Each structure stands twice: as C-alpha cells, then as structure tokens.
Amino acid sequence: EKAVNLKKDLTEMQEWMTQAEEEYLEKDFEYKSPEELENAVEEMKRAKEDVLQKEVRVKILKDNIKMLATKVPSSGQDLATELNVVLENYQLLCNRIRGKCHTLEEVWSCWIELLQYLDLETAWLNNLEERVQMTENLPEKLDAVNDALESLESVLRHPADNRTQIRELGQTLIDGGILDDIISEKLEAFNARYEELSHLAVSRQITLEQQLQTMRETDHMLQVLQENLAELDRQLTSYLTDRVDAFQMPQEAQ
C-alpha cells in the first residue's frame, strides 16, 4: 500500500510539473504595453516561488522511497527509477523558470532604465530650449550677447552618453519584440525634438558668435576713433594755447 501511495504521489508530481511547464514556459507572451510586461514579471515571480515550494514535497518523496527501498528492495527499486526521472524533470523545471524569471526581470529593468534616461535627456532638451529662447531680443550690448553665448555653449557641451544608452536600450527591447510600438514612438518623438532643437541651438550659436565678433570690431573701431579724437583735441588745445594762426596749422588741424 505504501508503494502504491508513493507511486501515486510521483504521478501527481509529474502531472503538476507538466501543467506548470505548459502554463509558464510554453505559452507565448506578447508584451505590447508596460502593464502586460509588469504583470508577466509578477506572474513569473509567483511561478518561481510556487515551484521552489515543491522542493519540500520532492525531498519527502525521495526520503520515503529510499526508506521503502531498504525495506522492500523490489518495489523500492522501481520507484527509485521513476523518482530519478521526476527529480531530473523537477530540476530542469526549476532552472527554466528561474531563467525565464531572471530574463523578464532584466527586461523590466531595461525598460525602467530607458524611461530614466529619456527623462534626463528630456530635462536637458527643456533647458536647451529655454537657453535658445533667452537669446532672442537681446539688448545691443556686448556683455549681454557674450553672456547669452556662453550660457548656450555650456548647455551644448552636454555629453552624448545618455543618448547612446537610450539608443542601445531601445534597440535591445525592440529587437526582442518587447514594447516595440511604444518604444519606437517614444524614440521617434525624442529624436525629432533633439534634432530640431540642437540644429536651432547651433544655428543660434553661430549667429551670436558673428554678432559678437561684429560688436567687438565696432568697439575696437570706436576706441581707435576716440583715441584719435583725443589726440587731435590735445593738438588743437596746444595750438590755441600757443596762439598759432589757423593758416599755419597742418591741413587736418584746419
């Protein structure tokens, strides 16, 4: 009777493993929304926990069959052979579910990381847009133009590392067919805005550089002119002081 009960337990265990394999490993999943992906992660966590909890039952079966084998070698040997198959299948099931659970957790982590990088770069784009707008309607003063140019250049020196991460993470998920529509839409919107703003910012940078150069050249010309006028004023004052007749002065002084 004990052998019959143990054989029944082995059969039930094998049937449970077959059902678990069909439910967690063989059905196709499509992750078209973050909610679907998150639910799949949680489901696989529960599956892993459920499978690992069976470890106690498997150990009890193993111990009981070993004990039976010492008492009734003939019956125990047959059950031991069947037990080895069940143990092998159980270990394989554990490994496969652990692997799938780990993979889904990595995918979810990849998605969260992508969102974080997109948030960082979107904040940078907002800052860049603000700096570009600040370069409009500037007063015609050298300091104002110079400050606006330096402010814009400081934002443009933003490293490209985050954009590289966005591209690689997005492509990894899309290649795996995971959230591909959502990610493609997000990346397309981000890249379009990045291209538009970066080109506008660089164009405005060039304009400010040219404006600054022109203002510096004008300031220099005015400075030279003021120095010449000051020198002329000094000479005229000297002539007046010495009561020099106008017709005795050089032509430019007259």
* Residue 247 DSSP symbol: G
- Fold observed for domain 1-210: Methane Monooxygenase Hydroxylase; Chain G, domain 1 (1.20.58)
Q: How confident is the model at residue 246 (pLDDT cuts 50, 70, 90)?
A: low
* Residue 65 DSSP symbol: H
Please give the backbone phi and psi of residue 65, each rounded to the nearest 5 degrees, phi first.
-70, -40
Closest by CA position to 47, among listed 114, 95, 108: 95
The mean per-residue pLDDT over the stretch 228-234 comes to: 91
Question: What percentage of the chain carries pLDDT values higher than 90?
Answer: 57
Q: Please state, in angstroms and rounded to a whole number, the distance separating the CA atoms of residues 113 and 85.
A: 42
Q: How confident is the model at residue 1 (pLDDT cuts 50, 70, 90)?
A: low
The mean per-residue pLDDT over the stretch 226-252 comes to: 77
The mean per-residue pLDDT over the stretch 65-93 comes to: 80
Residue 119: its pLDDT value, please?
97
> Higher-confidence residue: 180 or 243?
180
Enter the tokens of residue 12.
Answer: 């039930």
pTM above 0.95, yes or no: no
Enter the tokens of residue 95.
Answer: 């490994």
Residue 144: its pLDDT value, please?
93
pLDDT tens digits for range 17-26: 999 988 888 7
Res. 146: pLDDT tops 80: yes
Domains in the chain: boundaries: 1-210
Residue 244: its pLDDT value, please?
63
Contact, 110 vs 173, CB < 8 A? Answer: yes
Left, alpha or beta for 136 (phi > 0: left; psi -120 to 50: alpha)?
Answer: beta
Contact, 150 vs 167, CB < 8 A? Answer: no
Q: Please state, in angstroms and rounded to a whole number, the distance separating the CA atoms of residues 58 and 10.
A: 9
The mean per-residue pLDDT over the stretch 141-160 comes to: 93
Enter the tokens of residue 96.
Answer: 């496969």
Closest by CA position to 43, among listed 33, 29, 55: 29
Enter the tokens of residue 50.
Answer: 């459920």
Residue 235: its pLDDT value, please?
83
Contact, 10 vs 86, CB < 8 A? Answer: yes
The mean per-residue pLDDT over the stretch 104-113 comes to: 95
Res. 6: pLDDT tops 70: yes
Res. 72: pLDDT tops 80: no
Task: Decide: helix, strand or coil at residue 141.
Answer: coil
The mean per-residue pLDDT over the stretch 212-238 comes to: 91
Res. 126: pLDDT tops 90: yes
Q: Please state, in angstroms and rounded to a whole number, the distance separating the CA atoms of residues 56 and 46.
A: 17
Res. 60: pLDDT tops 90: no
Res. 110: pLDDT tops 80: yes
Res. 186: pLDDT tops 80: yes
Res. 148: pLDDT tops 90: yes
Contact, 169 vs 110, CB < 8 A? Answer: yes
Enter the tokens of residue 91.
Answer: 């270990």
Closest by CA position to 84, among listed 70, 71, 65, 99: 65
DSSP 185-208: HHHHHHHHHHHHHHHHHHHHHHHH
Q: Please state, in angstroms and rounded to a whole number, the distance separating the CA atoms of residues 235 and 26.
A: 101
Residue 29: its pLDDT value, please?
67
Average pLDDT taken over every residue of the chain? 88
